[in-house]
Chains A and B, each alone.
Chain A
Amino acid sequence: MNENIKERISALADGELSEFEVRRVLEEIEKEPVLRDYWDLLQITRRSLANEDLGRLDVDISERVRRELSGRKLHSSEGNSSYTRYKSYLAATAGLALVIGINFLVTTPNTTIDSFSEEASQTIANAIASPEAMEVLNNSVLGIDARLKDFNYVSGGGMHANYVFPENGRTFRVSLTPVMSEYKPKRSPELRRAFIKTDKGVFVVSVSGNITDEKKSRILQNANYFSNQIK
């Protein structure tokens, strides 16, 4: 996705394109679905900036409407949420560098974006500092027919991995949250979480999202099992 077309989409959102340019941009968007997702994210950003009501961001009916309006059969991959596709695109093109950029900006809000590269290697080092945690995260979904959608690091050393069930498009998240060394985890009567102790501290594994209790338990059992293996 080149910058020029994205800039024109940004201008389209402001009503600053000529009729001819609008037509051209629509053609480009039709050819490259990820541009449609870029438009979607642009709208969320603008509404957030303007403090406008964000509405139900968790629901996407645009594919259904589009299918009915266009009279076309969509490929199954087009049935995924537009947001998912956009993020996949980001992952493919920008990869870890973007995640690092986001993480860095979140944790140091007063720093300009230009300084990303200066801090990148340190941030990489911090972000992947717990290979044991990553291993547990990867193994926790063994036997679950789910596809990794994306993952991101959050300030404080936590991490979220977002998954999607290809069969129904439902999503869930496995989170790794660091706890302080003095934290004494309570044993829950129900198996609701797992703990990983690494040389970088203790992480809590939790599962949330549109997923059955049975699968949640399976993931956490996996996490418990693999965390025991690494101890």
Chain B
Amino acid sequence: MTSDPHAGASSLLPGPLAGLRVLELANEKGQYCGKLMGDLGADVIKIEPPGGERTRIVGPFLNDLPHPERSLSFWHYNTSKRGITLNLRSVEGPHLFQRLVATADILLESYSPGYLPSLGLGYEELSRLNTRLIMCSLTPFGQTGPWRDYQTSDLLHLAAGGQMGCCGYDPEDVPEAPPIAPGGGNAWHMGGHFAYMSILAALCYRDVAGEGQYIDASIHEACALTTESNVPIYVYTGQGVLRHTGRAASPEKTEPTQYPTQDGGWVNITRSGFNLTPARLRKLAEWMDSYGLAEDLLEEQYQSTAAIQANTGHIAEVLHKFFTHIPLEEAWHGGQQQGLPWGGVRSMDEIIDDLHLRDRRFFVEVEHPELGRRFIYPGAPAIYSGSPWRISRRAPLIGEHNQEILCGELGLHQQELALLAEAGVI
């Protein structure tokens, strides 16, 4: 038995979704869900309009040179997929698409509600060709309701979903601060996670019942479900929440948990006084004392839970001063080594050197043969012992697999492919 889960034959095993074929008709709203399936071994065929999906012109770009084959955002969200181009508004396009549908297990699409049915490619029509088909429409608001046809963006979803309502600043840090939309792209992540779950559940159902089904998934609802206790706080107590700097929004003001470090960084101690048993405080104070910065925390008076609770303000003050003498990385690793769930507010500058992540083989090299280069991508969120996660290939170039799939698998002749290209079908 080796302690390295990657060692030996396991790296040669197929991924957990091997043998499943996914057709992806998706822009920024659905491409992440397609990546999740592709990296876990499904054969994902990305179908783009001729000339490529507009997600290819979202930066940043390789060396800042804008080009549809150089978008790092597109690269990240489209790993482990093959790509073809197909104009669904042409006469031949829908026909070729239907032939692909007959070979597919899953169709993932993020077009506006009603668009595919208007082309004769709704679930009703497609399920007649393939009763085992699982079709998931992942759209901003779902297929029904008064907002169904509204335009959105990542920012708009984070506003309506409730994320911005609980993210921001204490007035002492930024007076009159607006609600803040955290991160970028996370509305699409929230939608993608729920959509992935629903597709996998439909697969499990199909394994038993033998039939596919249609899934109507809403990104707005996925976001609205992703604010931890915010909705229960309202439902059970009628209260709203206040936005704070770097910590959970809450009905009442709470103590800060994020402190500046000696080198201009920040460390988050999770919750003021959290888990500070007398034994833990003693251990923490001994560590602080090794820098000569424990002040009075080693004194016997703090060796009771009641005393710790009564003095959280003072303990926080001593910690605050302590952190201004300690660099970011040393601060949070030190806390963890005392058994405290602290986190340094790391940027990519620190993360790319993380040795723990290296131990878990998180940094994966992906080959870009057309550039003659290999780049480091983010790796597996989870290590599967019997069916590994892997990036099987970099994002497809525009129409890269037209010949392989349309000729090699659907049996079109080379000359037909040329004609379809000239006619703007592919």
**Is B a genuine binding partner of A?**
no
Binding site for A on B (CB under 8 A): none
